[in-house]
Amino acid sequence: MRVMWKSMDKMRCFRKRSIFPFLGFLIAFLLFFNHYMDDGYVLEAEKRQLGETLIHPPNSERYVHTFRDLSNFSGTINVTYRYLAGLPLPRKKYLTIGLSSVKRKKGNYLLETIKSIFDQSSYEELKEIVVVVHLADFDLVWCENLVQEITRKFAHHIIAGRLLVIQAPEEYYPSLDGLKRNYNDPEDRVRFRSKQNVDYAFLLNFCTNLSDFYMMLEDDVRCSRNFLTALKKVITSREGSYWVMLEFSKLGYIGKLYHSRDLPRLAHFLLMFYQEMPCDWLLIHFRGLLAQKDVIRFKPSLFQHMGYYSSYKGAENKLKDDDFEEDSIDIPDNPPASLYTNINVFENYDATKAYSSIVDEYFWGKPPCTGDFFIIIFNKPTKITRIKILTGTEDRQNDILHHGALEVGQKSVDTKQGRQCTSYITLGEFKVGNIEVNNVDHKIGFDIECVRIVITASQKEWLIIRSVSLWTAQPVAQI
């Protein structure tokens, strides 16, 4: 490992002298990265030739060790971790929650964060999570004292295998002196964020095989109630669609969800570019590299920043996520369905956008006429307990549904226009653009196959359907 980092130190010195800007290097590396993420192996001669082509002049062998170690992006990094509390269980969990923590000059919120994770989870949810804390400070006395506190407060979670505390030894870290000062950051700031990238890389590397999914939090966060159930609803709703990173907070490196299978690649990526930029910027490049072009962020946010002082120099940091809600259990289930409308759609604001809980997604259509419809057809008959539909937005308050009815149907058949239900009953009329109906399953005597919005009078204004939210009778079982 030391050999590898010495090689990277040489690479750093070389790049300072290079006439090529970092952007060119990054693009070249991304091509290299894409090539290797699908291949199980590459001949050593090809690796050396590619490394020479992209990184250094002919006849130079500065970086052979570096590329030999980092070209296999699907494999874990060889680090011998210290187990400070707890041991991994043999059975894979559903979700790993990772936290990296260092000594702060002011305040320490780690214990409160761990407590919030456990307190806001039900007994059934606790069976499916494991929390991994990486104490990434080189002050071993501080680490030892903190481990004692953690062990005393959360002993039963440690015994149950729900809490692990680890440390990557200092000898595995690269040199943190003489780093590149990108963006005119002061040296201590560059050192802090560069080390933080390595801290996260070692944490991700450790967590690779613990669960199906991985959630990154910071060490000064509080959670919404039953956040795991909310996460599961979102993951289930994304089945069949491609994603790399789902976001459940708009702040920093909080509430970012990954497939665990992607963690080795992300760990290698952070290590390769640890000194170039902050981790949350690198994540944008990583997401794009794996072909997720746009941010996929959900509301309400499930995690809230609660610290007042940053881990960098104890500076004030009172950022808050105004999309956070303490009670996340109210997130709709929105079972798998197809959506159709005969209303003229504006640009790419199609019908499916109204059925998504992604931020800033909604259906937007041109002025509807009497008899126009917006229909949701479930993949299978479903017992619905609650329906809530909102139209218009804060900045386009006139683009609401002025006259419309909500209907539910059964006995679906295939037609030239797609699947349709042949029998409907009306649940209610829209008022000021919105409608909410509770106890739906008690008001009708069948499992629902279709939910339909019918325009009962033409309007001059365009129509935004901001959200269609449906709750099922047994959401936990469906998940």
Please give the pLDDT value at position 71. Answer: 43
pLDDT tens for 258-299 read 999 999 999 999 988 888 888 888 888 898 888 888 888 887
Residue 438 has pLDDT above 70, yes or no: yes
432-453 average pLDDT score: 93
Q: What is the mean pLDDT of residues 158-176?
A: 92
CA distances from 330 to 9, 333, 434 (A): 51, 9, 18
Is residue 36 scored above 50 in pLDDT?
Answer: no
Residue 80 burial by CB count (10 A; 0-12/13-18/19+): exposed, middle or buried? Answer: exposed
Reported as a pLDDT band with limits 50, 70 and 90, residue 107 is: low
pLDDT for residue 293:
85
Say which residue, 234 or 182, is predicted with more confidence. Answer: 234
Tokens of 160: 């149950």
Within 8 A by CB and 6+ apart from 132, the residues are 96, 97, 98, 99, 164, 165, 166, 203, 206, 207, 210
- Higher pLDDT, residue 355 or 130: 130
Asked if residue 133 lies in contact with residue 151, where contact means CB atoms within 8 angstroms, the answer is no
Q: What is the pLDDT of residue 108?
A: 80
Contacts of 165 (CB under 8 A, 6+ apart): 83, 84, 85, 86, 132, 133, 135, 147, 150
316 against 391, higher pLDDT: 391
Smallest CA-to-CA distance from 422 within 444, 452, 384, 455 is with 452
Q: What is the pLDDT of residue 316?
A: 56
| Whole-angstrom distance, CA of residue 434 vs CA of residue 440 | 16
Lowest model confidence (mean pLDDT) among 72-76, 153-157, 195-199, 255-259: 72-76
pLDDT of residue 421 exceeding 50, the answer is yes
Higher pLDDT, 304 or 114: 114
The CATH code that applies to domain 337-472 is 2.60.120.260
Give the separation between CA 378 and CA 449, rounded to whole angstroms. 5
Query: Cα 237 vs. chain centroid, distance in angstroms?
Result: 14
| pLDDT the model gives residue 323 | 63
| pLDDT value at residue 200 | 94
Q: Which fold has domain 82-305?
A: Spore Coat Polysaccharide Biosynthesis Protein SpsA; Chain A (3.90.550)
Mean pLDDT of the chain: 80
Give percent above pLDDT 70 in the chain.
Answer: 77
Instruction: Determine the pLDDT at residue 241.
Output: 83
The sign of the torsion formed by the CA atoms of 48, 54, 60, 61 equals negative
Residue 37: the pLDDT is 44
Query: What pLDDT shows up at residue 73?
Result: 62
Most confident of 34-38, 210-214, 321-325: 210-214
More confident residue, 460 or 51: 460
Task: Evaluate if residue 38 carries a pLDDT over 80.
Answer: no
**pLDDT value of residue 67:** 32
Q: Which of 75-84, 136-145, 369-378 is predicted with the least confidence, judged by mean pLDDT?
A: 75-84
- Check pLDDT > 70 for residue 462: yes
Q: What crossing angle do the helices spanning 279-289 and 263-272 adopt, rounded to 10°?
A: 130
Residue 320 has pLDDT above 70, yes or no: no
- Give the start-to-end residue ranges of the domains of the chain: 82-305, 337-472
Output the pLDDT for position 279.
Answer: 84
Averaged pLDDT, 396-417: 89
Residue type at 253 in one-letter notation: Y
Strand partners, 256: 216, 247
pLDDT(20) > 90: no
Q: Which amino acid is located at 401 in the chain? A: L
Q: How confident is the model at residue 353 (pLDDT cuts 50, 70, 90)?
A: confident
